[in-house]
C-alpha cells in the first residue's frame, strides 16, 4: 500500500542498500545522506513491509498462542499476561483458539508455522509421542502449558497433583466422610488430552488413602449436575471436590435452587481461583493455579529457546520443565 525502499532510493538518488543502511542504522553511511533519507522516509511515512522482512530474515517477532477458548476466565487471564510479557520483549502475539478440536489444533499450528511464528505457546488437547513428532516437524520452538503432551517437550505448570492432594486433605480434615470428585471433562479422556485432570484425580486419590474411613464417589461426565443434586438430597453430608471453579459454581447454583447452601448442607471446593469468585457468596474454597506466573514463565522459557535457536552455537538444553508453586485459597464453602 505504502511507499517502499525502492521508492525511497529513487527519491533520494541512492541505492536501496544505502536506504537500508539509513533505516537500520547499521554499516557505514555518511551522516548527511542518512539524515536526508530518514527525513524523506518520515515525510512519506515509510513503513517496512513485515511480510517481506519476515520472509528474508526468517524471523517475524511473533509468537503464536494456541489455547482452548478465550471465554474461559483462566485462559483469558493467561493470554493477557502472555501478551504483556511478549510485548516487553518486542514480540507480538497471535492468539488462536482450537475449541477442544484436535484436528483444528493441528491445522492452526501448521498455519502458524507457515507464517513463520518465532515460537509457540500451546495448551494442547493432543498428546503422545506421535504428536510430539508432528510438533517437531513444525520446526519452531514450542512450550506447552498445563496439559503435558509428552516427555521431553518443554512444559510449564503448577504441581496439579500435589495441589489437589493438599486441597482434598484439607476437606477430609474438616471431618467429611463422603467426598465426591467432580470432573466432567474426564468423559472425553479418550478423545482429548486430560492430563491436568488425571493429575488432579491422582492427587485426590492419594489424599484419600490417608483417610481410610472416608468414602469416595466420582462424577466424571456431563450429567454431574443431576447426580450432584441426587447426592445432596440423599441425606448424607458430602463434599464436592471439583477440578474447576466453573463446575463448583454450577453445582452451587443448582443446589441453591433446592434450598441447600454450603457449608451447612454440603461442602464444595473449586480449582483455578478465577476472578468471578470475587462476586459469589459464600466464598468458594479453591486453589490458585498461579496463572500469571505460569504465563510469564512460559514466555521466558520460549524466549530463551528462540534466542538459543537463533544463536545456534550453544547446544545445551536448559531445564525445559518448570513446575511452579500453587496456593491454597481458603473460602467459606467447606
Please give the residue ranges that form the binding site for DNA (CB under 7 A). Answer: 4-6, 13-18, 20-21, 23-24, 26-34, 46, 48-49, 52-53, 55-57
Residue 241 binds to its own copies (criterion: CB under 8 A) = no
Neighbouring residues of 206: CB distance < 8 A, sequence distance ≥ 6: 161, 165
Our CB check for its own copies shows the closer of 77 and 297 to be 77
**Residue of the chain from 4, 20, 33, 113 that contacts its own copies (CB under 8 A):** 113
Say if strands 178-182 and 238-242 run parallel, antiparallel, or are unpaired.
parallel
| Shortest distance, position 12 Cβ to DNA, whole Å | 8
Q: Which cell numbers hold the place of 97?
A: 483458539
Residue 16 binding: pick among its own copies, DNA, none (C-beta 5-8 Å cut-off by kind): DNA
Q: What is the 3-state secondary structure (H, E, C) of 228-245?
A: HHHHHHCCCCEEEEECCH
**Does 152 participate in binding its own copies (rule CB under 8 A)?**
no
Per-residue x/- marks for its own copies, 279-318, CB under 8 A? xxx-------------------------------------
In the bound state with its own copies, the residue whose beta carbon lies nearer, of 150 and 280, is 280
Give the three cell numbers for residue 260: 441447600
- Minimum CB separation from its own copies for residue 43, in Å? 13
Residue that has been written with the C-alpha cell 473460602 in this structure: 331
Judged by CB under 8 A, the residue of 96, 232, 241, 329 near its own copies is: 96
E-assigned strand segments in the chain = 62-67, 92-97, 119-122, 142-145, 155-158, 178-182, 215-219, 238-242, 267-269, 286-288, 321-324, 327-329
10 Å Cβ neighbour count for 233? 12
Q: Which residues, numbered 32-71, are part of the site for its own copies (CB under 8 A)?
A: 45, 47-52, 54-55, 60, 69-71
Name which position in 10, 15, 92, 103 contacts its own copies (CB under 8 A): 92
Residue 105 C-beta: closest distance to DNA, Å: 23
Exposed (0-12), middle (13-18) or buried (19+): which is 130, by Cβ within 10 Å? Answer: exposed
Part in contact with its own copies (CB under 8 A); list of ranges 23-31, 90-98, 152-160, 325-333: 90-98
Q: Which is nearer to DNA, 46 or 271 (CB)?
A: 46
DSSP string, 110-169: HHHHHTT-SEEEE--S--SHHHHHHHHHT-S-EEEESS--STTS-EEEE-HHHHHHHHHH
State how far the Cα of 130 lies from the Cα of 302, in Å rounded to an integer.
22
CA-CA-CA-CA dihedral for 23, 27, 29, 33, to nearest 10: -10
How far is the CA of 194 from the CAs of 28, 265, 304, in angstroms? 57, 31, 28
Residue 253 binds to its own copies (criterion: CB under 8 A): yes
Give the nearer residue to DNA in terms of CB position, either 70 or 110.
Answer: 110
76 binds its own copies (CB under 8 A): yes
282: cis peptide before it, omega within 30°? yes
- Least distance from its own copies to the Cβ atom of residue 89, Å: 15
Q: Per rule CB under 8 A, is residue 114 in the interface with its own copies?
A: yes
Residues near its own copies (CB under 8 A): 1-2, 45, 47-52, 54-55, 60, 69-71, 76-77, 79-80, 83, 92-97, 108, 110-111, 113-116, 137-140, 249, 252-253, 256, 275-276, 278-281
Amino acid at each position: 500500500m505504502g511507499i517502499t525502499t525502492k521508492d525511497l532510493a529513487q527519491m533520494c538518488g541512492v541505492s536501496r542498500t544505502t536506504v537500508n543502511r539509513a533505516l537500520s542504522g547499521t554499516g557505514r553511511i555518511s551522516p548527511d545522506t542518512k539524515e536526508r533519507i530518514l527525513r524523506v522516509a518520515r515525510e512519506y511515512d515509510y513503513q517496512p513491509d513485515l511480510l517481506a522482512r519476515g520472509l528474508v530474515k526468517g524471523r517475524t517477532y511473533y509468537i503464536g498462542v494456541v489455547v482452548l477458548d478465550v471465554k474461559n476466565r483462566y485462559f483469558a487471564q493467561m493470554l493477557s499476561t502472555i501478551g504483556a510479557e511478549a510485548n516487553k520483549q518486542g514480540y507480538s502475539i497471535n492468539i488462536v483458539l482450537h475449541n477442544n478440536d484436535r484436528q483444528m489444533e493441528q491445522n492452526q499450528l501448521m498455519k502458524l508455522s507457515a507464517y513463520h511464528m518465532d515460537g509457540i505457546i500451546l495448551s494442547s488437547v493432543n498428546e503422545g509421542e506421535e504428536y510430539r513428532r508432528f510438533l517437531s516437524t513444525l520446526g519452531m520452538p514450542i512450550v506447552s502449558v498445563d496439559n503435558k503432551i509428552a516427555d521431553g517437550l518443554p512444559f510449564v505448570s503448577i504441581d496439579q497433583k500435589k495441589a489437589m492432594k493438599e486441597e482434598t486433605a484439607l476437606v477430609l480434615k474438616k471431618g467429611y466422610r463422603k467426598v465426591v470428585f467432580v470432573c466432567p471433562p474426564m468423559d472425553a479422556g479418550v478423545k482429548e488430552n486430560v492430563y491436568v485432570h488425571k493429575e488432579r484425580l491422582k492427587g485426590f486419590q492419594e489424599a484419600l488413602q490417608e483417610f481410610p474411613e472416608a468414602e469416595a464417589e466420582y462424577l466424571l461426565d456431563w450429567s454431574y449436575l443431576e447426580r450432584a443434586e441426587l447426592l445432596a438430597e440423599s441425606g448424607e453430608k458430602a463434599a464436592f471436590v471439583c477440578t474447576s471453579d466453573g463446575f463448583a459454581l454450577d453445582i452451587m447454583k443448582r443446589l441453591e435452587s433446592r434450598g441447600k447452601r454450603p457449608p451447612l448442607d454440603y461442602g464444595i471446593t473449586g480449582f483455578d481461583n478465577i476472578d468471578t469468585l470475587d462476586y459469589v457468596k459464600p466464598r468458594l474454597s479453591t486453589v490458585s493455579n498461579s496463572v500469571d506466573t505460569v504465563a510469564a514463565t512460559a514466555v521466558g522459557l520460549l524466549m530463551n529457546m528462540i534466542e538459543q535457536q537463533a544463536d545456534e552455537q550453544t547446544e545445551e538444553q536448559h531445564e525445559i520443565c518448570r513446575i511452579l508453586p500453587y496456593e491454597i485459597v481458603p473460602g467459606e464453602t467447606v
